[in-house]
């Protein structure tokens, strides 16, 4: 009985981690970084944002964004929930 519970728990954990990785991967793609930057700065589309110097750390992702309004240094958690951009 214990091994069945362990296998079931392991399967659920693996499935949950796969979903999290999939969602984080979408946000951390170049297009996701452009969209997150445009949303944070407002009044621009993701097509107006260029990203470079992407550093995907263990806790946060950092990148440089160039927009019609200037250059920004941005960072976000891996879920792209807390995007912060500073000139």
Residue among 21, 30, 15 nearest 79 (CA): 21
The tens digit of pLDDT for each residue in 7-65 reads 554 444 343 333 334 334 457 899 999 999 999 999 999 999 999 999 999 999 999 99
The pTM (predicted TM-score) of the whole model is: 0.69
Domain ranges of the chain: 2-86
57 vs 70: CA distance, rounded Å:
25
Residue among 31, 44, 86 nearest 64 (CA): 86
């Amino acid at each position: 009985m214990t091994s069945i519970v362990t296998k079931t728990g392991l399967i659920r954990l693996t499935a949950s981690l796969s979903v999290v990785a999939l969602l984080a991967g979408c946000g951390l793609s170049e297009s996701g970084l452009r969209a997150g930057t445009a949303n944070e700065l407002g009044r621009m589309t993701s097509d107006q944002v260029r990203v470079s110097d992407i550093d995907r750390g263990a806790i946060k992702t950092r990148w440089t964004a160039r927009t019609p309004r200037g250059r920004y240094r941005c960072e976000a958690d891996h879920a792209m929930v807390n995007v912060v951009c500073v000139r």
